A and B are shown apart, each in its own frame.
Chain A
Amino acid sequence: MPATAVAKPENGRNKGIFHNTAGFSTLITVTVLSLAWLAGFASRLFAVIRFESIIHEFDPWFNYRSTAYMVQHGFYNFLNWFDERAWYPLGRIVGGTVYPGLMITSGTIHWILHALNIPIHIRDICVFLAPVFSGLTAIATYLLTSEIWSRGAGLFAACFIAIVPGYSSRSVAGSYDNEGIAIFALQFTYYLWLKSVKSGSIFWSICTALSYFYMVSAWGGYVFIINLIPLHVFVLLVMGRFSQRLFVSYTVFYIIGLLLSMQIPFVGFQPIRTSEHMAASGVFALLMAVGALKYLHSLNPKGQWKQLLIVGGFLAAVAVFLVVVLLTYMGVIAPWSGRFYSLWDTAYAKIHIPIIASVSEHQPTTWSSFFFDLHVLVCTFPVGLWYCIKNINDERVFVALYALSAVYFAGVMVRLMLTLTPVVCVLAGIAFSILLDLVLREDEMCPPPVESEESKSLYDKAGKLKKRPHETPNGASEAGLGMNVRSGTLIAFMILLMLFSVHCTWATSNAYSSPSIVLASYGNDGSRRILDDFREAYGWLSQNTAEDARIMSWWDYGYQIAGMGNRTTLVDNNTWNNSHIALVGKAMASNESAAYSIMTALDVDYVLVIFGGAIGYSGDDINKFIWMVRIAEGEHPKDIHEADYFTERGEYRVDSEASKTMLNCLMYKLSYYRYDSGGSPPGYDRTRGALPGNRGFKLTYLEEAYTTEHWLVRIYRVKKPDEFNRPRLPVAKRTISTTNSVSKKLAIGPGTTTSKRRKGLLKNKPTVVKGKKVARLE
Chain B
Amino acid sequence: MACTSANVVKCHCQKKWSSVTMPAMAKIQFCFTFILFIAINCASVNVDNISSDVKFKNVDRTIDLSSQLVKISQKITLENSGKSPVKSFLVAVEASSKNNLAYIGAKDSSGKDLRVSETTVKGHDSAKFWRVDLKDALNAGSTVVVTSETVFTKALQPYPTAITQQEDQLVKYTGNLYVYSPYQVTSQKTNVVVVTKGIESFSKVKPFSQQDGAIQYGPYPNVAPFTEKELSVHYKNNSPFLTVTRIERLIEVSHWGNIAIEELIEVEHTGAKLKGPFSRYDYQQDLHSGPASVRSYKTLLPASASDVYYRDTNGNISTSNMKVKKDSVELDLRPRYPLFGGWKTHYTLGYNVPSYEYLYHSGNEYLLKMRVIDHIFDDMQVDELTTKIILPEGSVGIKLNVPYPVTRLADSLHYTYLDTKGRPVITFKKSNVVENHIQDFQLRYTFPRLLMFQEPLLVVGFLYALFLLVIIYVRLDFSIHKAEHQHKD
Q: Which residues of A contact B (CB under 8 A)?
A: 4, 8, 11-12, 15, 51-54, 117-119, 518, 530, 532, 535-536, 538-540, 542-544, 564, 674-677, 703-709, 711, 717
Contact = CB atoms under 8 A, between A and B. Distances in A.
A536 B276 CA distance: 20
Nearest to A53: B315
Contact of B281 (A15, A536, A676): A676
B174 interface: no
Contacts of A538: 314
Given A117-B419, A530-B318, 20 more contacts: A4-B488, A52-B315, A54-B315, A54-B316, A117-B415, A518-B315, A518-B318, A532-B317, A532-B318, A539-B337, A542-B313, A543-B343, A543-B346, A544-B342, A564-B314, A676-B281, A677-B284, A704-B277, A707-B278, A711-B280
24 contacts: A11-B489, A15-B489, A51-B316, A53-B315, A54-B315, A117-B417, A117-B419, A119-B415, A119-B416, A518-B315, A539-B337, A539-B345, A540-B336, A540-B337, A542-B313, A543-B343, A564-B314, A674-B279, A703-B276, A704-B277, A705-B278, A707-B280, A711-B280, A717-B277
Nearest to B282: A674
B60 to A, nearest CB: 44
Contact of B337 (A117, A706, A717): A706
Contacts of B488: 4
B72 to A, nearest CB: 34
Interface in B91-142: none
Contacts of A544: 342-344
A49 to B, nearest CB: 13
Contacts of B276: 703
Contacts of B280: 674, 704, 706-709, 711
A602 B279 CA distance: 26
A704 B314 contact: no
A12 B489 contact: yes
A724 to B, nearest CB: 12
Interface in B163-215: none
Size range of the interface on B? 20 to 34
Contact of A532 (B336, B415, B489): B336
A543 B315 contact: no
Contacts of A539: 312, 314, 336-337, 345
Of B315, B345, B488, chain A has the most CB atoms within 10 Å of the CB of B315
Nearest to B280: A707
A532 B345 CA distance: 16
Contacts of A704: 277-280
Nearest to B418: A117
B277 A535 contact: no
A760 B203 CA distance: 70
Contacts of A52: 315-316
A543 B415 contact: no
A523 to B, nearest CB: 15
Most chain B CB within a 10 A radius of its CB, from A530, A538, A540, A703: A540
Nearest to A674: B281
Contacts of A676: 281
A677 B282 CA distance: 11
A518 B419 CA distance: 37
B344 A543 contact: yes
Contacts of B281: 674-677
A97 to B, nearest CB: 25
Interface string B411-443: 000011111000000000000000000000000
Interface string B257-282: 00000000000000000001111110
Interface in B455-489: 488-489
A21 to B, nearest CB: 10
B336 A705 contact: no
Nearest to B274: A544
Given A117-B417, A119-B415, A538-B314, A706 B489 contact: no
A247 B226 CA distance: 102
B319 interface: yes
Nearest to A707: B280
A4 B489 CA distance: 11
A8 B277 contact: no
Contacts of B343: 540, 543-544
A701 B281 CA distance: 19
A482 to B, nearest CB: 32
Contacts of B337: 536, 539-540, 706, 708
B316 A536 contact: no
A671 to B, nearest CB: 13
Given A530-B318, A535-B314, A703 B277 contact: yes
Given A8-B489, A677-B281, A117 B314 contact: no
A8 B488 CA distance: 10
B62 to A, nearest CB: 37
Contacts of A54: 314-316
Contacts of B418: 117
Given A52-B316, A536-B336, A118 B417 contact: yes
B319 A532 contact: yes
Closest 9 CB pairs of A and B: A707-B280, A703-B277, A530-B318, A539-B336, A117-B415, A536-B336, A674-B281, A704-B277, A543-B344
Nearest to B342: A544
Contacts of A674: 279-281
A532 B281 CA distance: 18
Nearest to B415: A117
**Residue among A535, A543, A675 facing the most chain B CB atoms (10 A cut-off):** A543
A57 to B, nearest CB: 14
Nearest to B420: A117
Contacts of B419: 117
A677 B279 CA distance: 12
Nearest to A566: B313
A417 B488 CA distance: 39
Nearest to B337: A540
A387 to B, nearest CB: 21
Contacts of B489: 8, 11-12, 15
Interface in B339-357: 342-346
Interface in B50-104: none
Contacts of A15: 489
Nearest to A515: B315
Contacts of A119: 415-417
A540 B345 CA distance: 8
A729 to B, nearest CB: 26
A589 to B, nearest CB: 24
Contacts of B416: 117-119
Contacts of B318: 518, 530, 532
B470 to A, nearest CB: 12
A676 B316 CA distance: 30
A570 B410 CA distance: 45
B181 to A, nearest CB: 44
Contacts of B279: 674, 704, 707
Contacts of A709: 280
A704 to B, nearest CB: 4
Q: Which of A535, A538, A544, A564 has the most CB of B within 10 A?
A: A544
A705 B277 CA distance: 5
A535 to B, nearest CB: 5
B315 to A, nearest CB: 5
A179 to B, nearest CB: 23
Given A539-B336, A544-B344, A706 B278 contact: yes
Contacts of B316: 51-52, 54
Contacts of B278: 704-707
A711 B488 CA distance: 70
B309 to A, nearest CB: 10
Contacts of A117: 415-419
Contacts of A4: 488
Interface in B269-299: 276-281, 284
A54 B313 CA distance: 10
Nearest to B489: A11
Contacts of A12: 489
